[in-house]
Amino acid sequence: MNIFLNRDIARLILLQRIELSTPFLKKIRKLSGRYFFTNVASKYFISPKKIGEKYLEIMQKEYDDLAKFVNFDDKKILSIGGGICGFELLTILNHQKTHISIIERNFLSNKVVYGWDKENSEAYNDLNLVKLFFIKNGINENFFSIYDFDNEKLPEKHFDIIISLYSMDYHYDFNLYQSYFKKIFKKETKLIFDTIRPDYFKKMFNNVDIISSVQNTVHKSNRIICSEPKF
């Protein structure tokens, strides 16, 4: 499979998935700092084609791994912080009756820092590019809706699956979404996200399963599936 992507989309993908950096880009980031990396290197020193190929590979693996645990057929899915939404694209392509609502932000921080962002002041996305990515890859607007976290009312309906890969509780606190979740959870809703503190959620949900863990990065994390919130 080939995916459409242009240089601006490839740049955002690189910032969202920093593991796609080449050794050359890593060196530039170290020597010239985050500002130069975010504003210059990520724009001009990249190969969009190579980023596209690697991104597709990573997203395919994310999709294959998750499809072992959840059935995406004919589901209402909410994605929180999906980035350019490669995972969401593959999910829609594989499950024609599925609809995905996407909550993301519409700005790019000046210096992307990849730590815990207490104030949730960071973002690296452009919602017009997310839309372009879907449309150019053959998905029409009946299958997805995009919500700007900072400027739009979030969708208030019950979802079957809520998914946040390396976003909620990985970069910013779960509690930002907790009261919103009260409005959109039903008994069967499954919430999947990456966190560095899985035990904390055992007190908050009746069911919590760790489905994978990443231990070889600075940010050691677990991917968990939760259902039946107690809050």
Which residues make up the interface to ligand SAM (CB under 6 A)?
A: 16-17, 80-83, 103-105, 120, 123-125, 149, 165-167, 171-172, 176
| Strand, helix or coil for residue 10 | helix
Alpha-carbon distance 102 to 230, whole Å? 25
Shortest distance (Å) from residue 62 CB to ligand SAM: 7
Residue 127 CB neighbours (<10 A): 18
Residue among 106 and 227 whose Cβ is closer to ligand SAM = 106
| Number of residues that make up the chain | 231
Alpha-carbon distance 52 to 208, whole Å? 34
Residue among 124 and 133 whose Cβ is closer to ligand SAM = 124
Contact 95/71 with Cβ under 8 angstroms? no
Q: Write phi, then psi, for 76 (nearest 5 degrees).
A: -95, 115
Residue among 196 and 202 whose Cβ is closer to ligand SAM = 196
Residue among 31 and 218 whose Cβ is closer to ligand SAM = 218
Alpha-carbon distance 159 to 119, whole Å? 27
**Dihedral angle sign, alpha carbons of residues 156, 185, 124, 150:** positive
User: Which DSSP string corresponds to 8-33?
Assistant: HHHHHHHHH-GGG--HHHHHHHHHHH
Q: Write phi, then psi, for 78 (nearest 5 degrees).
A: -115, 130
**Dihedral angle sign, alpha carbons of residues 165, 20, 98, 146:** positive
- Strand partners for 229: 205
Contact 144/101 with Cβ under 8 angstroms? yes
Residue among 89 and 226 whose Cβ is closer to ligand SAM = 89
